[in-house]
Every structure is written in C-alpha cells, then in structure tokens.
Structure 1
Amino acid sequence: MTLSLAFSPCPNDTFVFHALAHGLVPGTPDFAITYADVDVTNTAAERGGYDLVKVSYAALPWLLDRYDLLPCGGALGRGCGPLLLTRGDTVDLTAATVAVPGDRTTAYLLMRLWAGRRQPARIEVVPFHEIMPGVADGRFDAGLVIHEARFTYPRHGLTAVVDLGQWWEQDTGLPIPLGAILARRGVVDPAEAASWVRESVRQAWADPAASRTYVLAHAQELEPAVVDQHIALYVNAFTAGLGDEGYAAAEALLGRAAAAGLTPPVGPLR
C-alpha cells in the first residue's frame, strides 16, 4: 500500500517528516510525497486529496468531516506568529490591498480577528515567496507573512505593523495554532499515523544532521543560519504532542472564529 503525504518544503516540515518520507520509521507503508504551500494543501484536503496532510488550523472547519486531527507533527508555539508588513510604519487597512498566503490560513484568520471592523479593502492570495517582494515594490500596500519571513523581512526594507502571534498570546495566554496534521478517515488509522509521526519527530531530534541535506535542498535558497532559526522556533514540544494547552489553543482559535461568523463551528477536537 502507498499513502499520499503532503507537506510544505519549509524547513520545519522537511525536518519533521524526513524519517517518515525516507522509509526510516519501521512498519510504515510507502509514501508518495507532495511538497506544496499550505494554501494548496488546504484546498486539496477539502477534496480529500491526500491521506496524510499538513494544513492550517484555520481550515479545520471545512476538513474534519473527512479527516482526523493528529495530536503531533504540527506547528504551534510562542513567538512564532504571522506578521503584517508594510513599507512604512502604518497602514489604513480599510483602504489597503493586502497580500495573504491563503484565505483559509491561520495567518489570515488571525488578521481578521485582530482587525475586527477594520477589514482590508482588498485581499490577494499569492504564493508565500511573492509577498515581501510585492509589498516592497508597491504591488501591495501590506503583506501577511509567516515562517522564515519573520527573520528576513528587514532585508526587503519592510516594517512590521503588528505581530499577530504576540497579539494572540497577550489576548488569550495561549500558543498560536498554525499548522495541523490530518489523517484521512477510513484510509489511515489516526492512532497508527500518530505513532509514525511521533517516531519521525523523535528521529529528527535524535540526529539532526541526518536530515540536513534534505532540509537544505527544499529550503528555497535560505541560508543555513535562517534554516536553523526556523526549525528551532517551529519544531518544539507541541510538535511531539499537542497536550491540553495545544488543544485549548486550537479550540480557542476556532471558537472565536465561529463566534465572529468567520468559519463554521466545530465540536471538540479530541
């Protein structure tokens, strides 16, 4: 049996899934790997496109009818939230065109919750790597960025108007639930899949050098120092297991979003 597995080419995902993708976790099936930005995986998962897939927590209300949330392998944390960037110090959102990495990403949902009634005039969904150059050259008034952009945005001459992760943490006291791992119901046993992912995470931490070539090959020309920062920030205790705090963070995000009419309601996540 071959299962389809999709995750991003970002360093945290390739680090976490190196062992699983390379047949180093005992007792697993073969995997057909797809590397794609989260906006692509969010959309494909809505069609049941992958057996195991990394998606945004914000997309779960449209996916939990066909997928089970795994308690490990995802991206949650503190100090790792999305940033809203501009070329200056301020932006009038109500008159702005804002580039976002996906309309069902956690980043976009956090921005909508933060903005309240001051929603952007226009939203453009563009590939993640085009956002900062697009803001810098004036195609967009502001850009919503994730991942390694928090380390590299000053190189583009950009300013962070708000750190949405910091806002979320101050408002809720909870970590930011960014990316989740899902297993397709009826195809993959979630408990078994969770054991595979936990073992892949364990091997990643036990021998970080083993995945180095693989991670750098997919790192979109990031220098090694930025790759190391990225992994250190996004691969943490919540990657090994959500725990009570991780589940509380995800339920708080989706509960607030449903209460604001931004997403359909969901039930308990475990």
Structure 2
Amino acid sequence: MNIAYSPCPNDTFVFHALAHGLIEGAPELEVQYADIDITNTLAAKGEGPEVMKISFAALPYVIDDYALIPCGGALGRGCGPLILTAGEKNPGDLAGKTVAVPSERSTAYMLFRFWAKQMMPESLPVIKVMPFDDIMPAVQEGRVDAGLVIHEARFTYQNYDLNMMEDLGDWWEKDTGLPIPLGAIIAKRSLDAEKITEWVRASVDYAWEHPESSKDYVMEHAQEMSVDVAESHIDLYVNEFTRDLGEDGFAAVESLLSRAAEENIVPSFDLSKLRK
C-alpha cells in the first residue's frame, strides 16, 4: 500500500509500527515522506498515494475521492498556530499590513482568516505566502509585519526575539469550545476504509505501548530537531484524537469546514461525507 506522510515526529511516531511490518495483517507500506503542502497538492490533482496525511483545510477539495480515516491525524488543544511579531503589537496594528503565512490551504490560514475578520473587519491584512522556514527570519528582519507559524516554531520562536500576539489554538477553543483540527489521514474511496482504520489505530496503540521502539526512526527524519523538541512535538500532537476522532473530533472538523465554506475560503461540499 502506498502512503505519504510528513517526516515530522508526530507522523513518524504514529506510523512507525505500520511502516516496519509490526502490525499483524497489515500490508507492506511504500512510504513517501512529504510535507503537508505537497500532499495537499497531490490529493487535489488526484495524483497522490492511496493513503495520505493532508491538512483538514484541503479535505473539501478531495472529499468525493478520498474518505476521512478517523484516526492517525492531528487534532488537539493547546497546539494551534501562532501569530508572531517583532516587538509588542496589538491585533489592530496589523490592519492593512503584511502577514506571512506558510500556505493558503491550511487550517492555520483558515483560523487566521476567522480571527482577522473578528479583530479587524474593516481592513484585513495583506497575505504573503512564504516557505515555513523563512517566516520567523522575515518577521525578525522587518520584511513582513507579522508571521503565522506552526509545528515546532511553538518551541523555538523565542530564539528569534519574537513576541506571540495570539495563539490561534487558544482563540479557537475559547470561540468554539472544540479542539483544533490540523492534519487528516485520508484513503481513496476504492479501498477498505475500515481495515485501514484498524491498521492505523493498531500502529498508534503500538507507539504508545513501545515508545522507545520508534525513537531512532523519529530522529532519523526529524530534520536536525533536538530530541527534546521532537518529544515535545509528539506530546503536543499525538493524543486521544489521534487514536479516535470521536464526537468532539468530528464536531471540530465539521465546525471548521462549514464555517470556511460559509466564508468562501473553501468550496461548499456535502458535510455528511466526512463520516462515510
């Protein structure tokens, strides 16, 4: 079975057992390591592997062809994207100013749009898409007025002497009471989604039961990340929603995507397809 997921510690931790033939009855995997922007694009073009990790924000574009697998993804609390600035600033200071984002097809971007509309409805910021690794230096050097960052930047932005204006995960939770949906596992609808769910869930369980087993695999792909940062990354993004979306998880996804569709950030789609 062909699968694509990122080299980030949470994905390699979750899929270690499945990728190494440790799940009884599961097929051999052909793994492609790809950042989520790449898998989002592959899925939208219909050119991707049978199973992929994509952003929940990309799901409306592919829901007719891919089923949402209710485990293996990334949702949670206290794990949202951050808006960073150089120096102390208020949200109103960003009206009409330039904000760097890593993608316009991401949950982070959706949350930023929701937040900006609430905070500065009269004059929204100008969006500049920029590679993730360039955003914090660009904010530090004054090339943009603020930056939207994700993943390990939560743990490293202080190294650039930057300030956190807003934790959009906290903002979303206060606004909705729901966890924040980040990354989704999808599978082509021609496959047996129940079997894939069973295998992925077993891989999650194995990861938790044998945390030392995946350590070398995680660090091999951790892109020069320190062990402490990699472990913090796993602790933040691998949680009960990784094992099972459950009602709260599905409600969070439905709330995020229905709101995005209402505001024309994503195309309208049949919400019931998220559960089938």
- TM-score category of the 2 structures, normalised to the smaller one: over 0.9
Asked if the contact 1:87/1:157 (under 8 Å) is kept, the reply is: yes
Q: Which residue of 2 aligns with 1:114?
A: 115
The one of 128, 132, 137 equivalent to 1:123 is 128
Q: Which residue of 1 aligns with 2:35?
A: 37
Q: For residues 151 and 22 of structure 1, what CA distance do their matches in structure 2 show?
A: 30
Which amino acid in the other structure matches residue 40 of structure 1? I
List per-residue Cα deviations over 1:120-170 (Å, max 9, x = no partner). Answer: 2132142x2222223223333221111111111111111111110111000
Q: Which residue of 2 aligns with 1:22?
A: 20
Q: Which residue of 2 aligns with 1:86?
A: 85
**3-state SS, counterpart of residue 95 of structure 1:** coil
Q: For residues 267 and 238 of structure 2, what CA distance do their matches in structure 1 show?
A: 29
Asked if the contact 2:5/2:34 (under 8 Å) is kept, the reply is: yes
Deviates further, 217-226 or 163-172: 217-226
Asked if the contact 1:9/1:35 (under 8 Å) is kept, the reply is: yes
Deviation at 1:96, TM superposition (A): 2.6
The one of 11, 14, 21 equivalent to 1:13 is 11
List per-residue Cα deviations over 1:185-238 (Å, max 9, x = no partner). Answer: 21x211111011001101100101011011111112111111111111110000
Structure 1 residues not aligned, in runs of 5+: none
Asked if the contact 1:39/1:103 (under 8 Å) is kept, the reply is: no
Q: For residues 63 and 242 of structure 1, what CA distance do their matches in structure 2 show?
A: 19
Q: For residues 140 and 7 of structure 1, what CA distance do their matches in structure 2 show?
A: 30
Deviation at 1:87, TM superposition (A): 1.1
Q: For residues 119 and 220 of structure 1, what CA distance do their matches in structure 2 show?
A: 35
Q: Which runs of 4+ in 1 moved over 6 A?
A: none
Q: Which residue of 1 aligns with 2:138?
A: 134
Q: How many residues align?
A: 266
Identity among equivalent positions (%) equals: 56
Q: Which residue of 1 aligns with 2:57?
A: 58
- TM-score normalised to structure 2 length: 0.92
**3-state SS, counterpart of residue 264 of structure 1:** coil
Q: For residues 252 and 55 of structure 1, what CA distance do their matches in structure 2 show?
A: 18
Q: For residues 69 and 37 of structure 1, what CA distance do their matches in structure 2 show?
A: 19
How large is the RMSD of aligned CA atoms in angstroms? 1.4
1:105 paired with 2:106, answer yes
Deviation at 1:11, TM superposition (A): 0.7
Asked if the contact 2:55/2:182 (under 8 Å) is kept, the reply is: yes
